[in-house]
Amino acid sequence: PSMHWADPIVAEDLSPGGGPVMIQVAYDVGPAEQARFVALMRECAAMRRRGGGYRWSLMQDSADASRFVETWMESSWLQHLRHHDRVTGADRDLQVRIHSLLSAGTKPVVTHYVSPSEA
C-alpha cells in the first residue's frame, strides 16, 4: 500500500456501516490535455473498481468544458476507508500522471457523500 490518500474530512463521526458512499473528484483540464486525460481516467475507473467501487462515471461540465467530475460509489463508509488503506504504488503513479495533465495551479477537489442514516 502507498498510503498516499489523505484521510477524508468529516463533520461528525460516521458509522462504519453507514452508506452507501459517493465519492466525487472534480478536475480542471485544459483543451490540449483532455484526450489524454480521458484515456487515463479509463484506467482510473479500473483502479476504483478494484478498490470496491461501482457505478463509476466521468462527466464533463456543459457550461465549462475544462471541468470534469469523476464519481463512484462504495457500499459503506468502512469499505471506503479500507479502500484508502489498499491504494497501491501503481495507483499512485497513475494518479500522478493524471494530475500532471491538470491546469496549472489546480488540484483535484475531493468530496465524500454518505447516505443519511434512518431516523
- From the list 19, 79, 77, the residue with the least C-alpha distance to 50 is 79
Instruction: Kindly report the number of other CB atoms within 10 A of residue 55's CB atom.
Output: 12
Determine the pLDDT at residue 5. 55
Q: What is the rounded average pLDDT of the residues 33-62? A: 95
Say which residue, 51 or 24, is predicted with more confidence. 24
Say which residue, 84 or 41, is predicted with more confidence. 41
Q: What is the rounded average pLDDT of the residues 43-52? A: 91
Residue 22: is its pLDDT beyond 80? yes
pTM of the model: 0.85
For residues 66 and 27, give the distance between their C-alpha atoms in angstroms, rounded to a whole number: 8
Residue 2: is its pLDDT beyond 70? no
- From the list 68, 54, 65, the residue with the least C-alpha distance to 21 is 54
